[in-house]
Amino acid sequence: MAYALQQLINGISLGMIYGLIAVGYTMVYGIIGMINFAHGDIFMIGAFLSLIFLLLVTAGGLDGAAAILLVLVLSMAFTALYGWTVERIAYRPLRGSFRLAPLISAIGMSIVLQNYVQVSQGARVKPMEPLVRGGITVMRDGDFAVQLSTMQMLIVAVTLSVLAVFTWLVTRTPLGRAMRACEQDRRMASLLGIDTDRTISITFVIGAALASVAGTMYLLRYGVIDFYIGFLVGVKAFTAAVLGGIGSLPGAVLGGLLIGLIETFWSAYFSVQYKDVAAFSILVLTLVLMPTGLLGRAEVEKV
């Protein structure tokens, strides 16, 4: 029981990171109907920017919560710029082209970003000393103690706070109404005076900022990053978005939590080498039984 509770805690914290990245995938798909396959590499760049800013901030004598908050803000701002650049270079010129063209362009942008970071930062893994320490003991079962670390609590708190702000932005602001209008019918939204190009660019910017938060949390939680983490983590986050229902924001978070839990429990009770196989197998099974995902809705073709 205690061991299962520990894996539940670990799975929720990992799933929150996946959920943040998955929201970026589902936002872009919901508005322009395309998968941004460079989004995982935006997450990777957010993690590297966080590491750079952490080194600069701690060298300047700032530490603790103030340092993390400053790094989070700086990383979100600079990563958002990368997201905007991806939209302008890889998507906007091809928006009126056939559907595969932006997809191929996004894959190319993903390769470019990977090699850009590899060349500029080196191919070796970048370790970091734990910045957030401590935690609480939830329960004990003999010699085994269930630990809830301060970092895990921080991940959950930051993720829920960011998602709450984002939900308010989408549901309660003029920008959110413009985003929902573009999702329903981009051409009609344009005819009604909505600047669809601006709305799509802001969507990429917000998605990149969320990926940056995930990158910062990933760095602080695991302490090791390299130029290739964006591919595997990005694929898992994309799987989470599809599992929850691509185009559904609550579904993206739910899918992230499920992928995190599946991966953690499989690693704990079975072979860790097959944890990715388990997650993707659950995805295939879900799509066979529920083609639109857990919270997705069937698309209605406009005629």
pLDDT digits (tens, 9 = 90+) for 171-217: 889 988 888 888 888 888 888 888 988 988 998 999 999 999 999 99
Rounded to whole angstroms, the Cα distance separating 275 from 272 reads 5
DSSP codes of every residue in 212-236: HHHHHHHHHHH-EE-TTHHHHHHHH
Residue 284 lies in a domain: no
Residue 101 lies in a domain: yes
Number of neighbours of residue 289 by Cβ within 10 angstroms: 7
**What are 283's two structure tokens?**
């995805």
For residue 133, the SS3 value is: coil
Phi and psi of 246, rounded to 5°? Answer: -60, 130
**What are 131's two structure tokens?**
């910045």
Residue 246 lies in a domain: no
Residue 1 lies in a domain: no
Binned at pLDDT 50, 70 and 90, residue 301 comes out as low
Residue 106 lies in a domain: yes
**Distance, CA of 8 to chain centre:** 20
pLDDT tens digits for range 256-276: 999 999 989 988 888 788 888
Mean of pLDDT values over 157-171: 86
Alpha-carbon distances of 214 from 35, 156, 194, 207, rounded to whole Å: 19, 11, 30, 11
Residue 240 lies in a domain: no
Cβ(33)–Cβ(276) under 8 Å? no
Residue 7 lies in a domain: no
- Identify which has the larger pLDDT, 97 or 25: 25
How many H helices and E strands in the chain? 11, 4
Residue with tokens 């995902």: 293
Give the domain extent around 29: 15-229
Total domains in the chain come to: 1
Residue 100 lies in a domain: yes
Cβ(214)–Cβ(43) under 8 Å? yes
pLDDT tens digits for range 39-87: 999 999 999 999 999 989 988 877 778 888 999 999 999 999 999 999 8
pLDDT tens digits for range 129-143: 878 888 888 888 777
Cβ(299)–Cβ(258) under 8 Å? no
Number of neighbours of residue 30 by Cβ within 10 angstroms: 19
